Amino acid sequence: MGTHKGIKNSINDDIINSTISRLSDDLNSKLETIVIEGLKRKGFEFSNKLELGNFIKQRCKCEDNVNLKQRTYFIYDKPFLLHDYNIKIDLTSIIDGGKNTTIKASYGNFTYL
């Protein structure tokens, strides 16, 4: 009897970990798209991700103002993107016998500078 409960918990943990991984990948992809667009607006375009990564490592930085919940992204010490982050997550179980769960999240607003 104890084994059955352990298997169920393991399956639930796998589902949760898989969901968190997908959400994280999606968020990183969206952030990458926003940063690339911000760089394009400043006249910088890249032919591949390696070129983009090298440019960011050598010429960009990010400052996080935790008190204001703002991150400012810089190129050559000049700001090009502002992220006002106020993370809100709404976890709601849909009334369908508990089979589905909806997660709504806001990770703030981005402003191109």
Each residue's pLDDT expressed in tens, for the chain with a length of 113 residues: 445 555 556 666 777 778 778 878 888 889 899 999 999 999 999 999 999 999 999 999 999 999 999 999 999 999 999 999 887 776 665 555 566 666 677 788 999 99
pLDDT at 57: 95
Question: Distance between CA 30 and CA 23 in Å, rounded?
Answer: 11
CB under 8 Å to 101, separation ≥6 — which residues?
A: 91, 92, 93, 94
Question: pTM surpassing 0.85?
Answer: no
Contact call for residues 44 and 36 (beta carbons, < 8 A)? no
Number of domains observed in the structure of the chain: 1
pLDDT at 5: 55
pLDDT at 1: 47
Domain residue limits at 29 = 2-112
